[in-house]
Amino acid sequence: MLDTYKNNTIQIQGRLSAWLAKHKLPHRPLGFDYQGVETLQIKSENWLSIAVALYIYGFNYLRSQCAYDVAPGGMLASVYHFTKIQDNADQPEEVCIKIFVSRESPKIPSVFWIWKSADFQERESYDMLGIYYENHPRLKRILMPDTWIGWPLRKDYIVPDFYELQDAY
Amino acid sequence: MVLNSTSYNYKNKINNSMKPLISSLSTQKNPNSIILTTLNDFSNWARLSSLWPLLYGTSCCFIEFASLIGSRFDFDRYGLVPRSSPRQADLIITAGTVTMKMAPSLVRLYEQMPEPKYVIAMGACTITGGMFSTDSYSTVRGVDKLIPVDIYLPGCPPKPEAIIDAIIKLRKKVAQETYKNNSKFQQGKRYFTLNHKFNLISINTSSLQNNKGIDSKISKSYFNSTLKDFTLTKKKENLAFVLKKKDNK
């Protein structure tokens, strides 16, 4: 992480990417974000094995999980931020994982069984964008009513016209 | 000397502070006094001085509302005791955004409250939807789409003083109510209900008429029988009367 501050050249492979390459784990480095956190893209079908590898590497803390719609008609993205937490941690190692899936069949294996805190986060991503997290123990809507139809945060979502409840006048 | 005077002043002060109470008690000529009022005003006064609000809040407006419960903006002095059960509440202050998921619960809470009940729509979200009114998929645009609102209290969120102001205005409204003015207690079509339209079919009405005919027949026959009995008894009585008259002769 530190050497990213030193060289401003187009170096996009970080420390974790090198480690994954050494162990022949498929991934694609996406460079670094504005804080110098290494960003990796991982395919949905490889995600479960690489997630286990990351846990073994030492990323024991899921800082956040979120999802977004990349573009109208485009891919859906699920984003994970991991941190290595230990005693007396000072600037612990971080990583950002992005998984892109098609909006026709958005299926990503759930990391609930590795990081338990992914429970509600993945449920919210499912609720808002309709990404199916496979093997999640109770994947159902968390914010919207169970009877809701559609995925509100997708770009092609059309707000239903509710009689009298939604018309502001 | 000086000490005496101070002590005297102190006593005098105490007397002054107590004076109104004591004088009113001592100079009262008639201790069993009568207060003249109308029953309407009396019941209104009783109701407005114990408006119990429902402890209801869904977001940041409730933080302002909760500060009223504390000692700084003590709203117990207006007789407002927050109740956790809608069965015991007279007033609901809808503090916070109401979403489509919350709407059925809010309507149920309102319906569970006993009549007469009042609603203060607190904050921009419950008046028009507030900052969620333009492009939200889940916010109810104004709580008056669900329940009838008495007082609209604008602000985002309103200050505690503004809530007190709204409560004072509600008290004025309650004070002006009359029993004739019972239009408030008739629930209109303010919130979403399905209208059930029962249509009477012609066959039903004809059978009803048939029933009526049978009924009238039965009653007639019954009436006739009773009439016969009556005439019989009357005749007997007449006979008895005649007999008595004969005896007297």
CB-based contacts of B50, cutoff 8 Å, min separation 6: B79, B81, B90
* Distance between B140 CA and the closest CA of chain A, angstroms: 6
Task: Report pLDDT digits (tens) over A112-169.
Answer: 999 999 999 999 999 999 999 999 999 999 999 888 888 999 998 888 766 555 544 4
The per-residue pLDDT for B21 is: 45
Cα–Cα distance for residue pair A84/A60, rounded to 1 Å: 6
The per-residue pLDDT for B136 is: 84
Which of A142, A166, A169 has the highest number of chain B CBs within 10 A, making it the mutation to test binding with B? A166
Q: Is B128 on the interface with A (CB under 8 A)?
A: yes
Cα–Cα distance for residue pair A74/A149, rounded to 1 Å: 21
Is residue A11 over pLDDT 60? yes
Torsions phi, psi of B11, nearest 5?
Answer: -60, -45
Cα–Cα distance for residue pair B219/B209, rounded to 1 Å: 15
* Distance between B133 CA and the closest CA of chain A, angstroms: 7
The per-residue pLDDT for B115 is: 82
Structure confidence at residue B195 as a pLDDT band (50, 70, 90): low
User: What is the signed CA dihedral for B104, B109, B115, B121, rounded to 10 degrees?
Assistant: -80
Nearest by CB to residue A168, choosing from B133, B138, B192, is B133
Comparing A26-35, B139-148, B202-211, which segment has the lowest mean pLDDT?
Answer: B202-211
Inter-chain residue contact B100 with A168, CB threshold 8 Å: no
The closest of A15, A166, A19 to A93, measured between CA atoms, is A15
Cα–Cα distance for residue pair B3/A98, rounded to 1 Å: 86
Question: Which residues in chain A are contacts of B128 at CB distance < 8 A?
Answer: 168
Inter-chain residue contact B192 with A163, CB threshold 8 Å: yes
Print burial letters for B159-197: b (CB count within 10 Å at least 16), e (below 16): ebebbbebbeebbeebeebeeeeeeeeeeeeebeeeeee
The per-residue pLDDT for B165 is: 94
Structure confidence at residue B32 as a pLDDT band (50, 70, 90): confident
Q: Is B145 on the interface with A (CB under 8 A)?
A: yes
Is residue B222 over pLDDT 90? no
More reliable by pLDDT, B128 or B215: B128
List alpha helices for B149-201, DSSP H: 160-175
Is residue B1 over pLDDT 90? no
Comparing A129-133, B30-34, B235-239, which segment has the lowest mean pLDDT?
Answer: B235-239
Q: Compute and round to an integer the Cα radius of gyration of chain A.
A: 18
Strands A38-41 and A28-32: antiparallel
Is residue B203 over pLDDT 80? no
Is residue A47 over pLDDT 50? yes
When mean pLDDT is compared over B144-148, B164-168, B207-211, B231-235, the highest value belongs to: B164-168
The per-residue pLDDT for A7 is: 47
For chain B, the first-to-last Cα distance in angstroms comes to: 116
Cα–Cα distance for residue pair B45/A125, rounded to 1 Å: 53
Task: Report pLDDT digits (tens) over B57-86.
Answer: 998 999 999 999 889 999 899 999 999 999
CB pairs under 8 A between A and B: 31
Task: Report pLDDT digits (tens) over A97-126.
Answer: 999 999 999 999 999 999 999 999 999 999
The per-residue pLDDT for B17 is: 42
Structure confidence at residue B12 as a pLDDT band (50, 70, 90): very low
The per-residue pLDDT for B248 is: 52
The closest of B24, A77, B96, A151 to B105, measured between CA atoms, is B96
Residue A24 burial by Cβ neighbours in a 10 Å radius (0-12, 13-18, 19+): exposed
Task: Report pLDDT digits (tens) over B162-179.
Answer: 999 999 999 999 998 887
Is residue B186 over pLDDT 80? no
Strands A132-134 and B53-54: unpaired
The per-residue pLDDT for B181 is: 55
Cα–Cα distance for residue pair B68/B79, rounded to 1 Å: 12
State chain B's mean pLDDT as an integer. Answer: 74
Q: Give me the amino acid identity at B175.
A: A
Q: Spell out where B13-72 has E strands.
A: 53-54
Structure tokens at B33: 């006094």
The stretch B83-96 carries a mean pLDDT of: 93
The per-residue pLDDT for B122 is: 94
Which of A140, A164, A167 has the highest number of chain B CBs within 10 A, making it the mutation to test binding with B? A164
Comparing B14-23, B77-86, B113-122, which segment has the lowest mean pLDDT?
Answer: B14-23
The per-residue pLDDT for A111 is: 94
Structure confidence at residue B154 as a pLDDT band (50, 70, 90): very high
| Residue with the two structure tokens 């809608």 | B86
Is residue A90 over pLDDT 70? yes
**Diameter of chain B measured on Cα atoms:** 116
**Are A126 and A149 spatial neighbours (Cβ–Cβ below 8 Å)?**
no
Comparing A157-161, B4-8, B24-28, B61-65, which segment has the lowest mean pLDDT?
Answer: B4-8
Torsions phi, psi of B241, nearest 5?
Answer: -60, -45
